[in-house]
């Protein structure tokens, strides 16, 4: 009897050759392969283990080399990748040359979008469904039975996102096959939040889930096109009729709701997917799964194993790869200290209490800190409302997810002059999560707002000083960015932040070059200065991307001292661009300014160290540019340094 099924699968066509009775063995192999790899490299473990069976069933029934499958968020795609010809990439998961942790069209045509943000799958799937219909390629049971089918794969936490709601509203208007698979594991990254989460809780423990016996006829009559749907019931099997959920919340969107059903019962999943595959109207299949399924440690603590560090198991205990103190931990401690001393400070996050460190504040101040779920736009507006009442709100959010609340930052915060304080974790390049999560454009987005203040921390002292400054700044929006990295503490006391003023870290007697670092690249600038000529290079912690230190810029350029700006942000619209604009505004010679930052192209997954080196903003890259400038026998304007 065969015991190794996974190695025989090169494409999903090979999967279909395996008898259904043997698929649980394949699922066990896949779970083992994922666990063993995440132990070594880290990765999204619990979310992937939970959908192994469901992913196998989907590929067993559909042909996604032709049909469409759209992932929501995408961090649950490992099984999908292993079934679509990418087993050879698993050994370098989230590393250079290996498997991306998210869907990636560059890896395979089975991945339709690069996706790492929640709420998008239904809308993009509606778009593909409409496009296929216009092109005459859509599945139609009578006129085009070999046409493309469309499946959107969505989690219960992601479906409450505003974009997902807009997608649902439009999905119900489709007049064709359209399947939404709702993966309901009662979790996002942390516990789900809100009234809809409570609804799912009630549904999972109610008689519907226990028996899955509901009459279909009354439901059909309530939905748009009821008489047509009543006719369609004649083509349905008793299994499908019994699984229809009467009075489902989704019914009001014009969606026929099936389930909930057990997401780990492979034969039943396959049977139900065969039933719903050919229904020519929008359907939502509600599937209940267990996050972390098959690995008891992940089942017991899905939040810890959502995005896990490398780990080992010793004496039945899990030991995570040791690491030092992070910026996230330092932020959490600083926030709690500020909240202890000021009752007006409140805080929120959007489904990232553990990732942003705000879980510590939630524990200490449960009545002043909220997790809104995957609702960045709502969180921003909620905090704007609290600011209007006199509270001092802090919003802990990944830089990449701030983009989802840009409109609210504009309309309800900046335009109103309200002091909402943005704490931007994962700013800059983020390592293994790659392109979908790089925080590369927050400065460019926020710098357009009048009275906005944008800062960056380089160490623990500057992070605490910046947060204290934010607490006291009440003239508008403020933001502090810091990376997904370990945090250092420079020697000596950190002076307080003064609006728009840089802090000099290295002073020489006769400087021939000045490096203005923004954020942790400043530390690399210090190393670079030592390597090149410690007696010729001044180094500044710029601190502010808005407002920049115009007096310092004028002082340096008026004395013909060239400037290098360095930042972990896009070269377009970032700190360096702000320096150039300020110099131009003062009629200074901008040809003495060289800007270094993230290039105008995508930087793939790998280590953060590798990504900084690729961008030329590590110590080696900075030193190379500094050497080229200083090696000129005579620096004359104009000069241009290009990487």
Of the residues 376, 460, 582, 614, only one is catalytic, namely: 376
SS3 for 600?
Answer: coil
Strand blocks (E) in 187-246: none
Q: How many angstroms separate the CA atoms of 552 and 541, rounded? A: 12
Close Cβ partners of 615 (under 8 Å, ≥ 6 residues apart): 429, 597, 598, 599, 603, 621
291 an active-site residue?
A: yes
Q: DSSP state, 48? A: H
Of the residues 31, 81, 392, 404, only one is catalytic, namely: 404
376 an active-site residue?
A: yes
Q: DSSP state, 216? A: S
Q: How many angstroms separate the CA atoms of 30 and 269, rounded? A: 18
**For residue 513, which of 549, 563, 558, 550 has the smallest C-alpha distance?**
563
Of the residues 86, 148, 281, 291, only one is catalytic, namely: 291
Placement of tokens 């069933």 in the chain: 57
Taking phi over 0 as left and psi of -120 to 50 as alpha, with beta for the rest, 406 belongs to alpha
User: Which token pair is 58?
Assistant: 């989907």
Residue 134 host element (H or E) = helix 121-134
**CB-neighbour burial class of residue 527 (10 A; exposed 0-12, middle 13-18, buried 19+):** middle
Angle between helices 460-472 and 327-341 (to 10 degrees): 40
User: Which token pair is 170?
Assistant: 């439009």
Close Cβ partners of 250 (under 8 Å, ≥ 6 residues apart): 168, 257, 284
User: Which token pair is 9?
Assistant: 């699968």
Contact between 43 and 93 (Cβ < 8 Å): yes
SS3 for 491?
Answer: coil
Q: Which residues are known catalytic residues? A: 291, 376, 404
């Amino acid at each position: 009897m065969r015991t190794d099924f996974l190695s025989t699968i090169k494409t999903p066509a090979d999967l279909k050759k395996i008898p259904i009775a043997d698929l649980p063995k394949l699922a066990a192999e896949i779970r083992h392969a994922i666990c063993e790899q995440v132990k070594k490299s880290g990765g999204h473990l619990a979310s992937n283990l939970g959908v192994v069976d469901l992913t196998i069933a989907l590929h067993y029934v559909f042909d996604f080399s032709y049909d469409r499958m759209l992932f929501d968020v995408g961090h649950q795609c490992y099984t999908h990748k292993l079934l679509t010809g990418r087993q050879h990439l698993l050994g370098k998961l989230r590393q250079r040359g290996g498997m991306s942790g998210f869907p990636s069209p560059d890896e395979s045509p089975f991945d339709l979008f690069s996706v790492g943000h929640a709420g998008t799958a239904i809308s993009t799937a509606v778009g593909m469904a409409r496009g296929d219909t216009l092109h005459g390629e859509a599945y139609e049971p009578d006129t085009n039975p070999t046409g493309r089918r469309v499946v959107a794969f969505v989690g219960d936490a992601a479906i409450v996102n505003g974009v997902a709601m807009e997608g649902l509203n439009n999905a119900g208007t489709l007049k064709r096959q359209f399947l939404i698979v709702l993966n309901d594991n009662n979790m996002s990254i942390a516990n789900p939040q809100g009234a809809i989460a409570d609804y799912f809780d009630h549904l999972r423990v109610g008689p519907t889930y226990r028996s899955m016996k509901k009459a279909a006829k009354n439901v059909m009559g309530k939905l748009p096109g009821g008489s047509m749907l009543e006719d369609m019931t004649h083509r349905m099997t008793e299994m499908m009729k019994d699984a229809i959920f009467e009075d489902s919340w989704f019914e009001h969107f014009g969606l026929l709701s099936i389930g909930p059903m057990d997401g780990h019962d492979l034969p039943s999943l396959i049977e139900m997917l065969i039933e719903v595959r050919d229904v020519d109207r929008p359907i939502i299949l509600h599937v209940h799964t267990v996050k972390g399924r098959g690995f008891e440690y992940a089942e017991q603590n899905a939040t810890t194993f959502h995005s896990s560090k490398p780990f080992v198991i010793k004496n039945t205990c899990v030991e995570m790869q040791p690491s030092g103190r992070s910026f996230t931990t330092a932020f959490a401690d600083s926030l709690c200290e500020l909240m202890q001393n000021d009752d007006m400070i409140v805080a929120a996050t959007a489904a990232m209490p553990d990732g942003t460190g705000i879980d510590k504040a939630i524990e200490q101040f449960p009545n002043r800190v909220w997790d809104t779920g995957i609702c960045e736009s709502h969180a921003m507006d909620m905090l704007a409302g609290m600011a209007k009442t006199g509270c001092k709100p802090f919003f802990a959010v990944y830089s990449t997810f701030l983009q989802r609340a840009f409109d609210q930052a504009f309309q309800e915060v900046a335009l109103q002059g309200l002091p909402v304080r943005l704490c931007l974790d994962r700013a800059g390049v983020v390592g293994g999560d790659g392109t979908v999560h790089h925080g590369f454009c927050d400065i460019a987005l926020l710098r357009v707002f009048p009275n906005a203040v944008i800062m960056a921390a380089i160490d623990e002292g500057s992070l605490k000083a910046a947060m204290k400054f934010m607490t006291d700044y009440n003239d508008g929006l403020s933001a502090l960015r810091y990376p997904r990295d370990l945090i250092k503490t420079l020697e000596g006391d950190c002076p307080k932040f003064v609006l728009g003023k840089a802090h000099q870290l290295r002073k020489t007697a006769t400087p021939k070059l000045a490096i203005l670092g923004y954020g942790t690249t400043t530390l690399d600038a210090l190393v670079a200065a030592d390597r090149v000529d410690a007696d010729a290079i001044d180094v500044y912690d710029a601190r502010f991307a808005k407002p920049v230190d115009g007096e310092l810029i004028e002082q340096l350029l008026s004395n013909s001292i060239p400037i290098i700006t360095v930042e972990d942000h896009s070269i377009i619209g970032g700190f360096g661009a702000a320096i150039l604009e300020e110099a131009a505004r003062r009629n200074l010679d901008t040809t003495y300014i060289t800007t270094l930052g993230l290039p105008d192209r995508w930087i793939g997954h790998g280590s953060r160290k590798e990504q900084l080196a690729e961008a030329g903003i590590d110590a080696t890259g900075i030193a190379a540019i500094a050497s080229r400038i200083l090696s000129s026998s005579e620096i004359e304007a104009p000069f241009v340094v290009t990487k």
